[in-house]
């Protein structure tokens, strides 16, 4: 076993769900509990021979186990994802030495109603279980935790959780607490200051069933990366990131029938949808410890550079650069995402779209800087190398910088690799591994590029 296969990951998820169901009714010695537990324990122990830690959880409604992402799960895997979401558990690490007793306790705790994540892991700790932990402290291929800080992938999960919690507060008629958002922003800004490209790959993760949550985090990533590339100070980065995360918060006050309508909105529906910017600004204005410039940016992220956008009454207001940065990030993520009424545009072609509307909808010099930051082949672009290998760009490489990196996912013979190989395309010791020949359409290759940012 050289890599954790999709089949093994799916079997483990199904057995975990079966164990949760049976643990709710039977003792551990009962065959209905013992048999799936023993098989599950065997699978996990095989896995930890490949990797010392096994990471699993839910990314915006989609179950994952290591690099295996279950976008179209069977009923058992979908049920497990729902159970973890209900508990507020979005990332779990299993360590070598996990036993059937450990897994039984975990399954029985997940089976309890009204037993949230903090109680599940407190009880595991109290019972001396050290092989099952909440969160992900280390992820391979560039997603490892920074010294003294959180990992990019864990921060991404936390951001999704914070946006989800904020919107739930609004639905319940509460003024959203800002603590979760501010904590996530501190982590995202710290990661971005060290390297503005650190989280760009995660912005390629797309969840079409939970678009608003996913889009909000992705815009936050793209906006703060651009702000860092422009050399803005830490406080400006915090405000930019916060505005990106909250820019669409007003959509929670738009009728669901309009928000989720497949196809083009009617004139009246579009007028109602346009209100999300001012509704969002109203919400953010009520939140504590959020700078007023964030409120202005949320209000003005659709105002357009030539002031032809909305809200119409705010067109003559002076908006600072933050709103223009949001507009670039918002546009880029929207057009690279599949919607019911719009096919996704590949990253490189998306830059062409931004360029065409620069000077009118978008501020021209910011589009230039964004394009410069993303490079000729932006993160998320599928490319063919002169070795005939197919690779995914995972780090931008403007001016062929030393940070250029791709993951090779199909070898020269056309075989999809179980474990992608991370290589640099920058010259080293006078030579280079390979050169990009052209971009490749992932739809033609039936490749979901987002899953490779979780591997």
| 302 and 411 fall within a common domain | no
The string of pLDDT tens digits covering residues 260-288 is 787 788 999 999 999 999 999 999 999 99
The pTM score is: 0.69
- 85 or 339, which is more confident? 85
Structural domains in the chain (count): 3
CB 425 within 8 A of CB 376: no
Length of the chain: 455
Q: For the domain that residue 226 is a member of, what is the CATH number?
A: 1.10.3210.10
**Within-domain flag for 139:** no
Give all strands of the β-sheet with 91-95 in edge-to-edge order.
Answer: 68-70, 62-65, 53-59, 91-95, 132-134
As a whole number of angstroms, the distance between CA 335 and CA 451 comes to: 19
**Can you tell me the distance from the alpha carbon of 55 to that of 66, in angstroms, rounded to the nearest whole number?**
5
Question: Do 160 and 103 have their domain in common?
Answer: no
Residue 171 located in a structural domain:
yes
Strands (E), 9-114: 53-59, 62-65, 68-70, 91-95
Residue 438 sits in which domain range? 382-454
Residue 192 · residue 228 · CB < 8 Å: yes
Q: Give the position of tokens 């390979």.
A: 434
Residue 407 lies in a domain: yes
Examine the domain organization and report whether 440 and 327 are in the same domain: no
User: Measured between alpha carbons, how far is 318 from 358 in angstroms, rounded to an integer?
Assistant: 19
The pLDDT value recorded for residue 72 is 75
pLDDT band per the 50, 70, 90 thresholds, residue 144:
very low
Query: Quick check: is 144 in a domain?
Result: no
Residue 113 corresponds to which tokens in the numbers above?
């109603």
Angle, CA of 321, 216 and 78, to the nearest 5° = 170
398 pLDDT above the threshold of 80: no
- 326 in a structural domain: yes
DSSP label at residue 232: -
**What pLDDT digit, counting tens, does each position of 61-104 carry?**
778 888 777 877 888 998 998 888 888 888 888 888 888 899 99
Rounded Cα distance, 413 and 409, in Å: 12
Q: Across residues 46-75, what is the average pLDDT?
A: 81
Same domain, 450 and 361: no
Contacts by 332-338, CB closer than 8 A, 24 or more apart: 332/222, 332/370, 333/203, 333/215, 333/218, 333/219, 333/222, 334/215, 336/204, 336/206, 336/380, 337/206, 337/208, 337/211, 337/215, 338/206, 338/208
Residue 142 domain-assigned (yes or no): no
Angle at 118 (CA atoms; ends 116, 124), nearest 5 degrees? 105
SS3 405: strand
Does residue 246 sit in the same domain as residue 283?
yes
């Amino acid at each position: 076993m050289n890599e954790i296969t999709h089949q093994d990951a799916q079997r483990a998820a199904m057995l975990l769900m079966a164990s949760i169901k049976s643990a709710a009714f039977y003792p551990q010695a009962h065959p209905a509990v013992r048999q799936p537990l023993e098989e599950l324990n065997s699978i996990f122990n095989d896995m930890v021979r490949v990797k010392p830690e096994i990471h699993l959880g839910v990314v915006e409604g989609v179950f994952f186990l290591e690099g295996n992402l279950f976008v179209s799960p069977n009923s058992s895997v979908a049920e497990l994802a729902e159970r973890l979401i209900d508990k507020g558990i979005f990332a779990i690490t299993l360590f070598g030495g996990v036993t059937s007793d450990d897994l039984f306790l975990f399954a029985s705790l997940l089976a309890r109603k009204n037993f949230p994540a903090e109680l599940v892991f407190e009880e595991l700790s109290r019972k001396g279980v050290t092989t099952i932990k909440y969160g992900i402290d280390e992820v391979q291929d560039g997603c490892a935790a920074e010294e003294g800080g959180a990992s990019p992938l864990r921060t991404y999960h936390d951001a999704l959780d914070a946006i989800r919690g904020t919107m739930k507060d609004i639905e319940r008629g509460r003024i959203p607490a800002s603590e979760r958002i501010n904590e996530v922003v501190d982590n995202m800004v710290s990661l971005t200051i060290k390297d503005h490209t650190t989280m760009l790959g995660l912005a390629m993760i797309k969840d079409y069933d939970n678009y608003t949550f996913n889009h909000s985090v992705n815009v936050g990533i793209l906006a703060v990366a651009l702000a860092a590339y422009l050399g803005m100070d830490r406080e400006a980065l915090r405000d930019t990131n916060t505005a990106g995360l909250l820019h669409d918060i007003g959509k929670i006050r738009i009728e669901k029938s309009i928000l989720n309508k497949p196809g083009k909105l009617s004139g009246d529906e579009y007028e109602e949808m346009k209100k999300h910017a001012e509704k969002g600004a109203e919400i953010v204005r009520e939140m504590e410890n959020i700078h007023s410039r964030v409120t202005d940016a949320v209000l003005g992220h659709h105002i357009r550079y030539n002031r032809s956008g909305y809200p119409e009454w705010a067109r003559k207001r002076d908006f600072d650069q933050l709103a223009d940065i949001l507009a670039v990030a918002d546009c880029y993520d929207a057009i690279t995402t599949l919607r019911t009424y719009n096919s996704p545009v590949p990253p490189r072609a998306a830059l062409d779209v931004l360029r065409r509307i620069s000077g009118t909808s978008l501020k021209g010099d910011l589009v230039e800087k964004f394009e410069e930051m993303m490079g000729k082949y932006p993160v998320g672009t599928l490319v063919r190398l002169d070795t005939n290998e197919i690779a995914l760009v995972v780090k931008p490489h403007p001016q062929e910088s030393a940070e250029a990196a791709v993951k090779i996912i199909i070898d020269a013979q056309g075989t999809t690799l179980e474990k992608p190989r991370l290589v640099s395309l920058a010259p080293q010791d006078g030579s280079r591994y390979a050169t990009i020949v052209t971009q490749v359409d992932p739809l033609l290759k039936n490749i979901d590029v987002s899953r490779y940012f979780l591997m």
